[in-house]
Structure 1
Amino acid sequence: MYSDFTMISAQTGLHVEVLEMCDLDRMLREVTPQEVRAKLAEVHEMFQISGDSPSDPIAKKPTDEQLEWSCKVAAAQEKLVRAYDLDALSYYYHGAPGGDYEKLQGGFIVGHSLLTARGIPCSGEGDLKTAVAMKISDILGVGGSFSEIVVVDYIDETILLGHDGPFHIAISEGKPILRGMGLYHGKQGTGVSVEAKVKTGAITTLNVTQTGDGRLKLISSEGESTSGPIMKIGNTQTPVKFRDHPDAYMTRWFAEAPTHHCAMSIGHNASMFQKVAELMKMKHVIL
């Protein structure tokens, strides 16, 4: 999942700006109460605020304090994007428990989902290559939501794809839900997470990976987002049926050495992604 910045710059023409948590913290100190209120209004317009989850004891209705903090962080994230003229971003922080930066990163998901909806895709866990996949999808107008394989439903023969965010609101089935998380799944800290599903119908996942010889490679998979149930645990989740049985699909998927994240887009877009690969002089595999 780690990325060679020089390699990405050479093969895509992107400039990689390496920023620190203190850069965002500096922006946070400049956020005004008026900016927080404006973000809160934006959040209420774009999201549904959840009650307590019926299935996950750590997924609760967001508190007023959690929402206000997420909105303050979101305002700081917007300032950061403007200050450095960012077209996309990837983020990761894992420091000492209980520190100020842990609280800061706990507010990331809402603001990064808002930015993704505005054409500035944000990928978690420092996965810069998936940020590139999300940007490609967004430029083409087909979404690009941050996803990974979560679990397999062997009865429906679907694979549940999702994450705790960021989510591309433009391709949502209904209004995305915000849940308060007493503890993030697989991460330190607490905060507000996005629960949503990509629209039912045709979808394509796009993965940008790196081969052993230092070349970027695209992997596309066309499938169908079904109306199957999702878990109410504060994560984005979409049940997807691919052409192959889930076991056969995952055998083929992992044989291509992907990062474990991908961008989910709406529509069957493999032929369009093939044209992108040709323009960027990259190998492209369609599963």
Structure 2
Amino acid sequence: MHTPIKPARKARIGLYSVGLQAYWEQFPGLRERLIEYGVFIEKKMAQWAEVFNYGLVDTEAEGRKAGEWLNANNVDLVFCHAATYSTSSTVLPVHQACKTPVVFLNLQPTERIDYERTTTGEWLAHCGACPVPEFANVFNRARMPFRVLNGLLGLDYTPAISLTNEKTNDRPEAIRAWREIEEWIRAASVPRTLKTSRFGFLGNTYSGMLDMYSDFTMIQAQTGLHVEVVEMCDLDRMMKGVTPQEVKQKLEEVRDMFQISGDSPSDPIARKPTDEQLEWSCRVAAAQERLVREYDLDALSYYYHGAPGGEYEKLQGGFIVGHSLLTARGIPCSGEGDLKTALAMKICDILGTGGSFCEVVVTDYVDGTILLGHDGPFHIAISAGKPVLRGMGLYHGKQGTGVSVEAKVKTGPITTLNVTQTGDGKLKLIISEAESTDGPIMRIGNTQTPVKFKMHPDDYMAKWFAEAPTHHCAMSIGHNGSLFAKVGELMEMNCVTIDG
């Protein structure tokens, strides 16, 4: 049901292992053993990415070759496996040639060597930590950023050459290390995907919302994505080509994905959608999908108030259902012309964590929660049950009438991601982990999720507001703080995590 219209791109990951050429004649079998470890790492990484394994690098000349080879394969991130001791002069040339971010892997094959039986050759197969301080020192002096990941290799067998147990895949040190590796790889898919993405900007930004105004050149310069400006007349042109079969198909999607509401028990402007409202929303939804396909869009930010009683006012009144359907299929749609939050939603979507359009709705001081939501598109894939469609007599603060989505995100761990812009024009990520609860929500045709942060609502809001956020954010499912922080690091964005 939620098959992406344009799937996210897998990261291209570079990998190589390092050693010292002088060892190979001195310790027969050591070189082959280390290559075997590298192949194991390659196969495990291939679950999440395209992996380009250069193999063993053991001299500075080989390092230069490896760097050029990694460049030729256009990798997004490089893992250097510290398989045994190696001089830093072997490693530095790799990254002088290939400027891609690097993570050093200090993954020991065994949890404990056999002290009574271990030979020098056996020890050298387990001393990957030995050269890492040297690498760190040299990279620091060369002003080249690096990261180090420590833990166990996580083999599910013991090589015949080994003198100790190397089956460590169930050890927490291996599980933790591979979780971190997976996060780095998934995070690398974000810049890979954004660099080839086309974000539609339809209409304009809601007048006066100064926090949301963005410089398209700044956005492209810092993310690589292209902003395609599309017009309401483009969407109107799509509407003229919509067939009855397309409308019928959208109606079937809507009835499958949504619960059609009765009248709201509390709000006179939130009513049961009429057949005419549903049919119009589905006709607009078909046109919206046509627009996305014609302009090859990966996300869309939109807002258009329209002249009272005009054709475009009626057209924009049918936006929310179709944009929710698109969001569920990998084309995040942000309302009110908030391009930065479209970016936040796309990051969440690339990572497979949802990304629903939110702002602060109200605080519940009894439950200690903050309700987050909006009257705009909702990410159906992370809904607690079927979202409800309500007919709206009016959209507050906007022109027109139509159908809106009433829903909340499923109960459990969530993470909000806010993309804001600082005074010097830099994009900045603000990350908050929390829990969505099963608390009550209003029946007014808006999405709302009661969220319990790790601190009192007042304390949380004080910290959040102090970071000067854009007032919208994306809500994702799961605790994704470290994952989002890695995205920020790879994209060279300032990143702040609000933690209690």
The TM tier, using the shorter chain, reads: over 0.9
Query: What is the TM-score when the length of structure 2 is the normalising length?
Result: 0.57
Give 1:281 shift.
Answer: 0.5
Identify unmatched segments of 5+ residues in structure 2: 1-211
Give 1:251 shift.
Answer: 1.1
1:219 to 430, 434, 441: 430
Question: Alpha-carbon deviations, 1:7-29, whole Å to 9, x = none?
Answer: 00000000000111111001011
State the partner residue of 1:232: 443
Q: Distance in 2 between matches of 1:80 and 1:89?
A: 10
State the partner residue of 2:313: 102
1:19 to 197, 207, 230: 230
1:274 paired to 2:485? yes
Give 1:35 shift.
Answer: 0.8
State the partner residue of 2:115: none
Matches within 5 A, 1:83-162: 83-162=294-373
State the partner residue of 1:68: 279
2:234 alignment partner, SS class: helix
1:204 alignment partner, SS class: strand
Q: Distance in 1 between matches of 2:244 and 2:257?
A: 20
Give 1:141 shift.
Answer: 0.6
RMSD: 0.6
1:82 paired to 2:293? yes
Matches within 5 A, 1:180-219: 180-219=391-430
2:230 alignment partner, SS class: coil
Give 1:237 shift.
Answer: 0.4
The number of residues matched between the two structures is: 287
Question: Alpha-carbon deviations, 1:121-173, whole Å to 9, x = none?
Answer: 00000000000000000110110000000000111110000011200011000
Q: Distance in 2 between matches of 1:20 and 1:256?
A: 34
Q: Distance in 2 between matches of 1:176 and 1:97?
A: 30
2:261 to 29, 46, 50: 50
Q: Distance in 2 between matches of 1:186 and 1:173?
A: 27
1:243 paired to 2:454? yes
Identify unmatched segments of 5+ residues in structure 1: none
Question: Alpha-carbon deviations, 1:20-58, whole Å to 9, x = none?
Answer: 111100101111111111110110011010000001111
1:281 alignment partner, SS class: coil
Which piece of structure 1 moves more, 93-102 or 78-87?
Answer: 93-102
Letter in 2 for 1:120: I
Letter in 2 for 1:269: N
Which 4+ runs in 1 deviate beyond 2 A? none
Of the two structures, which has the highest relative contact order with CA contacts closer than 8 Å and spacing of 6 or more? 1
Which piece of structure 1 moves more, 189-198 or 95-104?
Answer: 95-104
Letter in 1 for 2:320: I
Letter in 2 for 1:249: Y
Give 1:185 shift.
Answer: 2.0
Letter in 1 for 2:318: G
1:16 alignment partner, SS class: strand
